Amino acid sequence: MAVMQATLPRRILSTPTAGPLAALILACAFFAFKSDQFLTGGNFSLIIQQVMVVGTLAIGQTLIILTAGIDLSNGAIMAFGGIVMTKLAVENGLPPLLAIAAGLAVCAAFGLANGLLVMKINLPPFIVTLGMLNVVFALTHIYSQDQTVTNLPPAMTFLGQTFRVGGTNVTYGSLLTILLFLLFAYLLSQTAWGRHVYALGNSPEVARLTGIRTRRLIVGVYTLAGLVYGIAALLLVSRTGVGDPQAGQTDNLDSITAVVLGGTSLFGGRGTVLGTLIGALIVGVFRNGLQLMGVPSIYQTLITGILVILAVTVDQLSRRRTR
């Protein structure tokens, strides 16, 4: 057959995660040179623990951004889910697993609500989720009466416990986060559902005309994202050991940062969930490395901001080139 495969260099160049990966490796090399504590198993385990909550939120965010949407409510949904699970278990005496399931269901329900509003009334996702952010934030504080939930049953913080891999302590939560990334990478790249998500992000009309049930797909994506936020809530609860109504207030923007740094286009239809993992790690590595170098934390924020603007600029320029 006369059809050739793309050559290897071309494939690497056309891989959207190549740039972010190069940036991550460069950053690691730089910090390894600057601090001898950086390149240790313990430090990497710490970085992963630091990024796993935002990273998990960013998985849901990636799904939604791939459909050319955006979700400002994910951190708030996670905080509410965390309060629901911990309160049900501690104050209502529900078995921990049941309480966790209820928290996951509540988060999925908020995702469903976002999806229905976007699909049925055809509102811009930015506005829908901005409204939802405020609604859920308020509900969290009303329901928790601004009280932190403590004395959690051990089953609820299980994911915060560690096991040893070659002399390094790794939390079960880190493992779950990595598995989630792999699962969604598989779903997006190897299944028809994934292809349809990309097609929808390219153009809803094209997707519809090829026979994809776009309305059902949108609602499904937002609901699934909500469920993932529920898992992020569980990770957060097990990492901090409490149900905190103040949690996750900047995580919506941090998750968008991870997605964008990972090379996913805010215009939809382009990007990968493994890119998002790299994006989350870039943020984590910069924070951690600068901290090890003794740079004040406000400069970490400054540098993250510059990185985001750089990433979006690269995306915009590469789009212009292909048009």
Partner 1 sequence: MTPVLQARGLVKRYGHVTALDGADFDLMPGEVLAVIGDNGAGKTSLIKALTGALQPDEGEILLDGKPVRFRDPLEARRQGIETVYQDLAVAASLDIATNMFLGREVRKRGPLGTVFRMLDKKRMREESARHMEDLKIGLRSLTQPVESLSGGQRQGVAVARAVAWASNVVVMDEPTAALGVKESGQVLDMIRRVRDRGTPVVLISHNMPHVFEIADRIHVQRLGRRVAQLKPADHNMAEVVAIMTGAMTVTDGKAVVADKGAAEAIGLS
Exposure b/e, 163-185, CB count within 10 A at least 16 = b: eeeeeeebbebbebbeebbeebb
Q: Restricting to residues 250-309, which ones interact with partner 1 according to CB under 8 A?
A: 269-270
Place of tokens 């937002």: 222
Looking at the DSSP bridge assignments, the partners of residue 170 are 163
Q: Restricting to residues 1-60, which ones interact with partner 1 according to CB under 8 A?
A: 1-6, 11, 14
Q: CA-CA distance, 282 to 287, in Å (whole number)?
A: 9
36 or 205: CB nearest partner 1? 205
User: What does DSSP say about strands 168-171 and 162-165: parallel, antiparallel, or unpaired?
Assistant: antiparallel
Q: CA-CA distance, 264 to 17, in Å (whole number)?
A: 9
Piece of the chain touching partner 1 by CB under 8 A; list 47-55, 140-148, 189-197, 299-307 = 189-197
Minimum Å distance from CB 10 to partner 1?
A: 9
Piece of the chain touching partner 1 by CB under 8 A; list 47-55, 134-142, 168-176, 210-218 = 210-218
Minimum Å distance from CB 255 to partner 1?
A: 22
Question: Mutual orientation of helices 273-292 and 251-261 as an angle, nearest 10°?
Answer: 110
5 or 151: CB nearest partner 1? 5
Piece of the chain touching partner 1 by CB under 8 A; list 56-64, 107-115, 200-208, 293-301 = 200-208
55 or 201: CB nearest partner 1? 201
* CB within 8 Å of 5: residues ≥ 6 apart: none
Query: Judged by CB under 8 A, does residue 246 bind partner 1?
Result: no
Piece of the chain touching partner 1 by CB under 8 A; list 38-46, 106-114, 121-129, 185-193 = 185-193
Q: Is 16 exposed, middle or buried (0-12, 13-18, 19+ CB in 10 A)?
A: middle
67 or 174: CB nearest partner 1? 67
Q: Restricting to residues 155-184, which ones interact with partner 1 according to CB under 8 A?
A: none
Question: Mutual orientation of helices 273-292 and 18-34 as an angle, nearest 10°?
Answer: 20
Which residue ranges make up the site for partner 1 (CB under 8 A)? 1-6, 11, 14, 190-193, 195-196, 198-199, 201-203, 205-207, 209-212, 269-270, 322-323
